[in-house]
Amino acid sequence: MELEHRRGAISYDSSDQTALYIRMLGDVRVRSQVGFEPERRSSHQYLCIDFRTLHGEFETLTSFLQGIKIEVLLSFQRYLHSSRLLRGLPQQIPLHILDEDYTGQARCMLEKVGNWNFDIFLFNKLTNGNSLINLTFHLLNQYGLIELFQLDMVKLWRFLVMVQEDYHNDNPYHNAVHAADVTQAMYCFLQEPMLSKSLTSCDILLGLLAAATHDLDHPGVNQPFLIKTNHYLATLYRNTSVLENHHWKSAVGLLRETGLFSHLPPEDSRNMEADLGSLILATDISRQNDYLSRFRRHLDQDDLCLSNASHRHFVLQMALKCADICNPCRPWELSKQWSEKVTEEFFQQGDIEKKHKLEISPVCDRASNTVGNIQIGFMTYVAEPLFVEWARFSDTRLSQTMLGHMGLNKASWGSLQQEQSSAEVPFEEKSELKNETRSIQTLAGLLLSDAVLHLY
């Protein structure tokens, strides 16, 4: 297999049993309008078609793809651009690049980047859709990490541009804006006294990079969907942390392609890649209870020692987990937008499953679920237990503010649910429905908690 002629695909290297995601500097292919590559040179014996074409443009492919199994249609390959090697930075990069590129309003917002009310949607508009690039670069620069680790400015900028491009903006939720939001939340947690006085510069660098890349190349569907459609990534990672492994290996591929850490000793570079992977893998929400139980044990025994590198790394994992699912803890105006976006992504997966006569995943059926009931379930069974323990660890104004927002948001969704029910149900049926609702609340809650653990 001639790896030097390939780019942007999973590469099976016989000397690498983990099958790292490697992007080689080779030819650049541009997708056709219907979203497939007719002459893809790949180790996989199937056509690589972006699964999102199934949702809106499947009819245009029906005659061509008749008889091909559904897994053939599923692909994680990002949209490639003919300017792939030339994008990002001009040939000569001034050191004052942020001042030249940012508008006054965006610079003003970055002065308050540690504010929990930071509006990432507004910042994304002010930066012309480049919130992830600009925010991450600013934070790395603010911490002095670019100078401390002697990171090449051109390589760093190119890396961030490629990271942002590898998020799919047509995903309602798992896109570059979500990554930027998680990165901003991670910064807020890094500023907390328990962490700021204990973390090393390497910890901070890895924490910010993990936040920026934690959902890299997310396809907009969950792990059970990949498993039941026999997607090759599910096979590659043996149905275990499939998406998280893919995000990590994709990040490693970009680090190696840009050579961002190439000036470091090989052992240091490998260690950083491994630690980055450990952080990203911690965001697998199906393992939420494992991490939460371990965190709770440490807090009960009061034995977390942040001078210990392994303990610091574990706390960093918990911080990233909090940042990843902190939407319910944001002010209502922001939290509501995120809730609607993530629910729409669930529903889009359900639409695909319904269209292809697959079993519809829990809470993915738009006909039988609402934003409110999904969010109330998520807050009750996933978010609240995590953030209560985080507040035990870091009992600060921020942690109490987050819990306060979550309580208000949960109540707001409950009120909206009640208003919708009152508007839809005749008066004489309301008392009967209330009794029925009480009888099934516990069971429904348990089922919903299991469902949401596999969706985020």
How many C-beta neighbours within 10 Å does residue 398 have? 18
How far apart are alpha carbons 318 and 190 in whole angstroms?
Answer: 11
String of DSSP letters for 404-450: HHHHHHHHHHHHHHHHHHHHHS-HHHHHHHHHHHHHHHHHHHHHHHH
String of DSSP letters for 281-332: HTT-GGGHHHHHHHHHHHHHHT---TTSHHHHHHHHHHHHHHHHT-GGGS-H
**317 labelled binding-site residue:** no
How far apart are alpha carbons 262 and 103 in whole angstroms?
Answer: 33
**365 labelled binding-site residue:** no
**435 labelled binding-site residue:** no
How far apart are alpha carbons 209 and 403 in whole angstroms?
Answer: 26
String of DSSP letters for 342-354: HHHHHHHHHHHHH
Burial of 179 (0-12, 13-18, 19+ CB in 10 A): buried
How far apart are alpha carbons 276 and 310 in whole angstroms?
Answer: 14
CB-based contact 349:225 (threshold 8 Å)? yes
**174 labelled binding-site residue:** yes
Rounded CA Rg of the chain: 23
How far apart are alpha carbons 117 and 112 in whole angstroms?
Answer: 9
- Dihedral angle over CA of 329, 332, 333, 334, nearest 10: 10
The answer to whether residue 174 is catalytic is yes
How far apart are alpha carbons 46 and 65 in whole angstroms?
Answer: 11
Q: Which residue has the tokens 């610079």?
A: 107
**Which one from 168, 174, 231, 247 is the annotated catalytic residue?**
174
CB-based contact 254:66 (threshold 8 Å)? no
How far apart are alpha carbons 337 and 314 in whole angstroms?
Answer: 30
**177 labelled binding-site residue:** yes
**324 labelled binding-site residue:** yes
**175 labelled binding-site residue:** yes
CB-based contact 61:75 (threshold 8 Å)? no
Quick one: which of 138, 127, 284 has its CA closest to 212?
A: 138
How far apart are alpha carbons 105 and 154 in whole angstroms?
Answer: 25
Q: Which long-range contacts (CB under 8 A, 24 or more apart) does 82-90 make?
A: 82/28, 82/30, 84/7, 84/28, 85/25, 85/28, 87/158, 87/161, 87/165, 88/157, 88/158, 88/161, 88/162, 89/154, 89/157, 89/158, 89/161
* Residues annotated within a binding site: 174-178, 214-215, 324, 375
* Residues annotated within a binding site for AMP: 174-178, 215, 324, 375
* Residues annotated within a binding site for Zn(2+): 178, 214-215, 324
Q: Which residues are catalytic?
A: 174
